[in-house]
Structure 1
Amino acid sequence: MSRWNCGIAGCGREFDGPEAVIVHQTTEHQRHECKVCGTIVPEGYFAIRHAFDEHTRAEYVRAYDADGSDVRVREGIKETIEENADLQSVVDELNGNSG
Structure 2
Amino acid sequence: MWECAIGGCEYAIDNAEDLLVHQANAHERHRCAVCGTTMPDGYFAIRHAFSEHSRAEYLRSYEAETDDIRLREMLIKEVEAEADIEAVVRRLSGDRQEAATEA
TM-score (norm: length of structure 1): 0.91
Deviation at 1:7, TM superposition (A): 2.0
Query: Which 4+ runs in 1 deviate beyond 3 A?
Result: none
Specify the alignment match of 2:99 in structure 1: none
| Mean CA deviation greater in 7-16 or 74-83 | 7-16
Find the aligned partners of 1:37 and 1:91 in 2 and give their Cα distance: 22
1:73 aligned residue (62, 68, 71): 71
> Structure 1: any 5+ residue segments left out of the alignment?
none
Report SS of the residue matched to 2:50: helix
Specify the alignment match of 1:6 in structure 2: 4
Which one has a larger percent helix, Structure 1 or Structure 2? 2
> Structure 2: any 5+ residue segments left out of the alignment?
96-103
TM-score (norm: length of structure 2): 0.88
1:35 aligned residue (28, 33, 43): 33
Identity %: 51
Q: How many residues align?
A: 95
| RMSD, aligned CA | 1.1
Deviations 1:13-68 (A, max 9, x none): 10121100100000110001100011111100000000000000000000000010
